Structure 1
């Protein structure tokens, strides 16, 4: 019982929907064999019943293969199985016609009529419905059932069946075939929609990262573009003045030096603003993004207001990274964020379910490669970060930051720390 559960949890949501769709229609083929194939042996006898069972088994096998090939074609993994669809259609028509002939001209026993009627009805209902999986047009998919129903009416009348009986039989075939065809069409639509939603979620994540990079690049351009243009002009002027032996060249180079230092300061301000994150805004944003992706997000604990700015900024980055990785990894259905302010300590925990088996066994979980960056940010203010699985399918990320005393504020720590290069922003 352990292995099937692990195999199922390892799949993503679209893969689970695809597996469910595939095996639901496989079950139709299996049900066809056991409902009319295997049960025909007793009423028809060993020879005739064995022949009927073999014919139904062949049709069920064709249905089984058609389901696999059609679902693969729907997902673009193989070409449309046109030949297989025609083969299944021809086999369905031939078996149904043979069942009618057996019922009209075979041994005149009630058991034979019942068995032949069962084979006829089940074959004509399941066959067109499974063929509909491999048809692109919905109108054509439903038209298959109408065509088989019309053929049933013609063949029944040709074999001498009463008109009312033939019409009633065709109506049953039409209703059953349309129902299975509708199930096939709806299942294909649902499967494609789930895959498209999953791709849209991945695209949204990539667009968010790209937008942030563009914003940072735009800010750097606004800061550096004007200053570099002025520096270039003043440097050119200083060169010309120096070539002429003019003393004003020195003042121009002093101005260039001042502009360079000013540009360095402004770049540091941009980087510092880029690295700041408001904890309250990040909590609200994470809850909105996760719930939009269908993940129930609960935020509880102490309010974020009143915490030192450095603590809020660091924890804001923890929330941002944790929410991003919950979306990217695993198959979460719920996420719980809890903020606690204890005596001299702030604790933020983010817990989610839906961790895939491979990540759970490796201990990496949904945190990804961002753990190193988060630990680096927290270490500046003496914070710690722990992340790992805490149960079957559960992952928890916990950040702890000591609150500063009034005598040693956080503002004194960064002043003694060396300035970080601008290139680290893109890491």
Structure 2
């Protein structure tokens, strides 16, 4: 009875150990597979896996975690094997005593398994994360830059780029620049001290105010890549054409793309306006100084507007000259707006060409304002624009005065009356 009870207890212990052995063996097989797959990585350098964009630090930590888990599962497996062997030996001795037969010699299964595991651990130890590596191997390790590789906004780079940080402090609108192709990548390649600072000093030397730096770079970021000698040559050319230093600084501040035009191109633009408008050099300089974007804008709208004024609107050559000298914006005005305003002035208000030439700023006024005020004066019976007749109303005052002064001085009515009349239109 005692022998049978002992055998039953040993059987129960072995059954529990066999269950834990199956679980440990499963984990051991998984870890063996993980280590095998790790050895098959394309590049291994002293325990550092160089794959894709993973950093060396992340790879070391992952290797340590794998090896720790591997060692733990191996020890657990060996412990289970030892317990199972002990249980098996005890059960074998009990059976031998009960049956009167000599016990069977133990097998070499566990030592063989231990030897195999020892070899695996030795092989894994060849790639220890703590092992020192040579300088050549350290240089070959690829470490990705802290700057994001790609982004749809320059805002993601401001904290990483000194150039972008300083440009923001200068008042540059990055959200405008990132909408333009290739500008963002260009700014990231610039060094603030070697690329940006010398050009800012150049602007300061020619008289541009510090407060205009942000506006200039926002509207013309390519100025930062221009050669300093070329920039100086262009400024010297403008001064040689008798533009004063103050005028040159004002032109650069309001039309930054002037800095990107070569001397030859600037000379061609000056010649174009002088020949097309048949103006003197002094009048040509005056027009360009007041509207410097004429130098760096397209010439096609200018040519078209000159033809419109001459052919469609019927102005004479000397009248066109007078209009352009007084209001240079007529050269770049929208063709549809220009013809609409002239049609209302000439055909509805019955204003002749010579009066329009005398007050050319009326062509640059808002069409809606001109229409509302004329209809209000007509409603009151005061729409009289002929200077030879009584109660004459100047076209200049008609479009330039604020609503309150227009009502009290020209219409002789209240502002409320004018607002009520606007609601009827």
TM-score computed with the length of structure 1 as normaliser: 0.23
Q: Which has the larger radius of gyration?
A: 2
TM-score computed with the length of structure 2 as normaliser: 0.23
**Greater share of residues in strand:** 1
Which one scores higher on RCO, CA 8 angstroms, separation ≥ 6?
A: 1
